[in-house]
Amino acid sequence: QLLRSTKNQILTMVDIGRTEKVKQFKEDAVIQLQEILQIKQEEVAMIEEQLALMTKDHVKDVNVVDPYGDNGLFSGQVNGDTPHGKGTMKYEDGRTYAGDWINGRWQGIGKSNFLNGDIYEGEYHHDQRQGKGIYYW
């Protein structure tokens, strides 16, 4: 009886050890997959930038006035002379926005650097922070 009880305790301890090893293996695998995903996302972004540079609708450091009358230098995709697609605007007052544009407006995913040092990375809708994002101050 005592031997059987000890054997069951040992088997339980072995099972717990296996469970912990499996759990750690899964956690390590998730971390590795997240790292691979990050690398692939960066590779996709680089390819998109290279493709944009090869298209005729891409400009570099062109003076643009936004819908609010603010001037800046725009680099990125345009539709005619309006920012449309991926691009970066460096405003004369020191602000920057890099991300998605639709018809001259911040629309989609982007990153803003504000004059006071604050940064917002996330979703925009008609030039406004809307949806998911992170605000650093």
For the segment 38-55, what is each residue's pLDDT rounded down to a tens digit?
888 888 888 877 776 666
Determine the Cα–Cα distance for residues 66 and 90; give it in Å rounded to an integer. Answer: 11
Confidence of residue 93 (pLDDT cuts 50, 70, 90): very high
**Tokens, residue 9:** 């305790």
**pLDDT at 95 > cutoff 90:** yes
Which H helix or E strand runs over 119? strand 119-125
**Tokens, residue 70:** 């603010």
pLDDT score for 132: 94
User: In Å, how far are 37, 98, 126 from 123, measured between CA atoms?
Assistant: 20, 12, 10
Please compute the mean of the pLDDT values over residues 11-38 and round it to a whole number: 77
pLDDT score for 37: 87
Phi and psi torsions of 51, nearest 5°: -65, -40
Q: Which residue has the higher pLDDT, 26 or 90?
A: 90
